[in-house]
Each structure stands twice: as C-alpha cells, then as structure tokens.
C-alpha cells in the first residue's frame, strides 16, 4: 500500500489516519468498498464501480449524502496523482458512522459516513498462471450480505488464507446448495466445448465490474457465454479456467486441484485479456 491515503477530503500519511472507534463500521462492519484498477494513471470503469458501490451502500443503509460519482472519482484521481500510480489499484471505502446500533456514542457526529481511499501497486500474477483449490468453506445465499462487497470480508480472507496454506493461489467457493459461486476474491469462468460458463448472480456471486466487462467483450467477439447454476462436476470437466477481478484483470488458471491446463495463445482467456487491455487504452 502507498504511504498517502485520502480520508474525508484530506490527504495524509496512512500511519496518522484516525477514524471513529465507536461507529457502526468499526463495531459491526457496516461499510462497503470497491477495488478499482488504475491504468495509465486513470481509474478504469469508474462509473460502473461507483454505481455498484452506491447500490451496496443503500442496501446496507449507509448514508451517501454529499458523495457522488464526480467528486469521489476526482478524489481517487488526486490520490493516484499524489502517490504517482501509473498502473495499480485503488480501494474506495464508505464507513458508516452510525445505524440502528446496540452500542452508540452518546454524542453522535454530524458526519454520517467516512470516505477512505487508498492505493497500491498492481497485483502480481505468475506467468505460469494461477493454481486453484476447492475451499472447505461455504458461501451463504441466505445472508443479507450475499452479493454485497462489504467490510464483512473475513469469510473470503479466511478461505483465501486456507488455500494459501496449502500452497494454492486461490480457491473455488461453493454455496450451501453445493453450487459454484466464485473464487475467494475473484469471479470464475471456464470453457467447455467452445462455450464460456460463469455462475449466475443467484448463486451468491458478486456482480464484479471486470466480470461484467468480460461478459460484454465475449458478446462483442461472438464468443458463446452462459451464466448459469453449476456444480463442482461441471468445473472438473472444463477445458480452460480463468478468474477475473480489478486486481487480476483476466488471469488464467493452470492448476485446478491436481489437473493441469496449458496456456494457449488462442484460448478464450487470452482473447478476452487482449480485449480488456485494448479497452483500458481506450478509456
């Protein structure tokens, strides 16, 4: 992470930043975030990121008054300039000060929500591709947080750490019905008989911004793609697997459990990665 962050209209050193300790965000995780890819010093697909962030904030009753696509986007660009980020990532976070909370400060602040932005370098991916396991943990579609990118992210972090402990880069998450949802921190796609498949949002999958861009690219390039409900057996029969996120872009999987996949120049993931790269240069 870069040393300077943005907090409520102020640029400051990350080590000196302070947020309210008695708040709905700190006590209960009432907050939302999005991770935005930075290419050539510009936030990529910012409008889509903001729309999702605002929607998720509204679903968790987080007050966004005073924050909008233009002024938050400008804050991101200013921080990117200060930290001299050419290609990297920015995380934009909305932290709720209060809600219908059990523990509340006697004197509440007039500020309803804190805006926190931080940046870092791009996530490095091995040229050999990613290795993928199956997580022993399950996603819960009955949770009111299903499909929301909230501060309650420990389920995903613990699943990622468990995969890392087994020397895998990522892990496939299933829901309580045994349906494929995603990787721990990315959306998942695979190819079978020339058609790309990805879990539908009804499984609890996050509506990833890069996921959406890839689906549009597939349509423009006349690559068949189906959003559906799948079980693990469908993935084990895949001819190709890849993950998508703002951090990864389009990242090929070369190992799934003990299955090996080759990196082909004309693979679906290669074509979509090239299309995404072209899109970044046009925005």
- What beta strand segments (E) does the chain contain? 4-7, 10-13, 31-39, 42-43, 88-96, 113-121, 130-139, 170-175, 180-183, 187-192, 195-199, 225-228, 240-245, 249-256, 259-260
Percent of the chain with pLDDT over 70: 96
CATH topology of domain 4-121: D-amino Acid Aminotransferase; Chain A, domain 1 (3.30.470)
What is the structure's pLDDT at 256? 94
Which of 55-69, 75-89, 202-216, 252-266 is the least confident region?
252-266
Give the distance from CA 2 to its chain's centroid: 19
Confidence of residue 43 (pLDDT cuts 50, 70, 90): very high
Boundaries of CATH 3.20.10.10 in the chain? 130-282
Q: Is the pLDDT of residue 106 over 70?
A: no
Quote the tokens at residue 17: 């930043």
- Bridge partners (DSSP) of residue 241 are 190, 253
Boundaries of CATH 3.30.470.10 in the chain? 4-121
Give CA–CA dist 259/132, Å, rounded.
10
Q: How many CB atoms lie within 10 A of CB 73?
A: 17
CATH topology of domain 130-282: D-amino Acid Aminotransferase; Chain A, domain 2 (3.20.10)
Confidence of residue 123 (pLDDT cuts 50, 70, 90): confident
Mean pLDDT of 106-129: 85
Confidence of residue 150 (pLDDT cuts 50, 70, 90): very high
- DSSP annotation of 269 reads H
Give CA–CA dist 44/140, Å, rounded.
30
Quote the tokens at residue 117: 């932005």
Provide the residue count of the chain.
283
Cα torsion through 36, 42, 44, 47, rounded to 10: 90
Q: Given the structure tokens 């996120």, which residue do they identify?
A: 245
Nearest in space to 209 (alpha carbons), one of 125, 279, 271, 120: 279
Give CA–CA dist 242/84, Å, rounded.
30
Quote the tokens at residue 33: 């975030």
Give CA–CA dist 39/210, Å, rounded.
14
pTM here is: 0.93
Mean pLDDT of 227-238: 95
Using DSSP's 3-state secondary structure scheme, residue 42 falls into: strand
Using DSSP's 3-state secondary structure scheme, residue 115 falls into: strand
Contact predicate 233/170, CB 8 Å = no
Q: Is the pLDDT of residue 169 over 70?
A: yes
């Amino acid at each position: 992470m870069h040393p300077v962050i943005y907090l409520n209209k102020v640029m400051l050193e990350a080590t000196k930043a302070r947020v309210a300790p008695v708040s709905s965000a700190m006590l209960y995780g009432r907050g939302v975030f999005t991770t935005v890819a930075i290419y050539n010093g510009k936030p990529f697909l910012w409008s889509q990121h903001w729309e999702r962030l605002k929607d998720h904030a509204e679903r968790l009753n987080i007050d966004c008054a005073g924050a909008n696509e233009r002024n938050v986007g400008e804050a991101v660009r200013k921080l990117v300039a200060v930290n001299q980020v050419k290609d990297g990532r920015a995380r934009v976070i909305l932290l709720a000060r209060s809600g219908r909370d059990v523990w509340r400060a006697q004197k509440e602040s007039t500020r309803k929500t804190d805006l926190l932005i931080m940046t870092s370098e791009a996530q490095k991916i091995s040229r050999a591709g990613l290795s993928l396991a199956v997580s022993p943990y399950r996603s819960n579609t009955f949770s009111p947080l299903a499909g929301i990118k909230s501060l309650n992210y420990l389920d995903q972090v613990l699943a990622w750490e468990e995969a890392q402990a087994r020397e895998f880069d990522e892990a496939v998450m299933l829901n309580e019905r045994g349906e494929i949802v995603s990787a721990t921190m990315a959306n998942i796609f695979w190819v079978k008989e020339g058609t790309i498949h990805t879990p539908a949002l009804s499984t609890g999958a996050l509506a990833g911004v890069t996921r959406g861009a890839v689906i549009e690219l597939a349509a423009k390039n006349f690559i068949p793609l189906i959003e559906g409900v799948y079980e693990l057996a469908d993935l084990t029969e895949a001819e190709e697997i890849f993950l998508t996120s703002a951090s990864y872009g389009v990242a090929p999987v070369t190992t799934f459990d003990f299955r090996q996949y080759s990196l082909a120049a004309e693979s679906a993931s290669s074509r979509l990665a090239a299309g995404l790269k072209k899109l970044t240069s046009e925005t």
